[in-house]
Structure 1
Amino acid sequence: MLLKHWMLGVALVASAPWALADVAVDPLYGDDPQARAVLDCQADYARRYAGAVTSQRATATEVAIAAHAGCIDAFEAFIRSRVTAAGEAERMQAAMNPAAFVEHHRQRMRDYAHAHTLHVYLRSTADF
């Protein structure tokens, strides 16, 4: 009985860093709920595909691109939220050139979410 408890404890301690990585504050967007929604949606897509039994496997990049398409609603909600989440200096930039402001945030999140999805997918595949 004592050995079972010890083994369970070792398993929990070994899995703790991975569990904490999923709930930790994002280094780029902090606690922003809109950014978290995009990253969580794409990570969920990557995990589901990594665990799926399919006859053909997509590359990690193909999974990340498909995850973006599957999470486009969360992505667009994030883009719309940028003006309200912006600081004073960013609001001035948005007022002077709104198209450039939106494009900057669109590209920044797309690149970041793409890299995040690649990371989750590669970490989730058994044959990594």
Structure 2
Amino acid sequence: MAAPCALAATSSDPLYGEDAQALALLQCQADYAERYAKAVTAQRATATEVATAAHASCAAQFEAFVRSRLTAAGDAERAQAMFSPAAFVEHHSQRMRDYAHARTLDVYLRSTATF
């Protein structure tokens, strides 16, 4: 069976499609979760702790994703960004944070179940 993060690298994402910045962030977090799942350690973190640490580890990819949102936005979203840039950034940041967290949990739990 192929590793979940390898699958993420070869197929488009259901939410973000082929968006390079989104895929880079999701792959970074999936790689982190898989590495931790396969590490031989005396202490095991909970899946939520791993997902939180993965987010911190991939902060540069997260920032690149947020910066890329304006160029990937449609006309309606560009108008929203012009009138309320803070709300635009917060919306996309929170949406990706929640989505990446859930995907990282999934990768970690799948990786530990087969290890």
TM-score of the alignment, normalized to the shorter chain, above 0.5 = yes
- DSSP 3-state at the match of 2:45: coil
Q: Which runs of 5+ in 2 are unaligned?
A: none
Larger RCO: 1 or 2 (CA < 8 Å, sep 6+): 2
Q: Which runs of 5+ in 1 are unaligned?
A: 1-14
Q: Which of the numbers 9, 32, 39 marks the counterpart of 2:19?
A: 32
Please give the TM-score of this superposition, normalised by the length of structure 2.
0.92
* Alpha-carbon shift at residue 109 of structure 1 (Å): 0.3
Q: Answer with 1 or 2: which has the greater Rg.
A: 1
* Alpha-carbon shift at residue 126 of structure 1 (Å): 3.7
Report runs of 4+ in structure 1 exceeding 6 Å deviation. none
Q: Which residue of 2 aligns with 1:68?
A: 55
Alignment partner of 1:51 is 2:51:
no
Paired residues in the alignment total 114
* Alpha-carbon shift at residue 21 of structure 1 (Å): 3.6
State the identity %: 70
User: Are the structure 2 counterparts of residues 17 and 67 from structure 1 closer, same or farther at C-alpha, using a change threshold of 3 Å?
Assistant: closer
Alignment partner of 1:115 is 2:102:
yes
**Letter of the aligned partner of 2:36 in structure 1?**
Y
- DSSP 3-state at the match of 2:43: coil
In structure 1, C-alpha distance between the alignment counterparts of 2:47 and 2:28, rounded to whole Å: 16
More displaced stretch, 20-29 vs 109-118: 20-29
Q: Which of the numbers 65, 72, 93 marks the counterpart of 1:85?
A: 72
User: Are the structure 2 counterparts of residues 58 and 17 from structure 1 closer, same or farther at C-alpha, using a change threshold of 3 Å?
Assistant: closer
1:28-86 deviations in Å (ceiling 9; x for gaps): 00000000000000000000000000001000000000000000000000000000110
Q: How does 1:6-25 map to 2 (within 5 A)?
A: 15=1, 21-22=7-8, 23-25=10-12
- DSSP 3-state at the match of 2:26: helix
Name the Cα RMSD after superposition. 1.9
Please give the TM-score of this superposition, normalised by the length of structure 1.
0.83
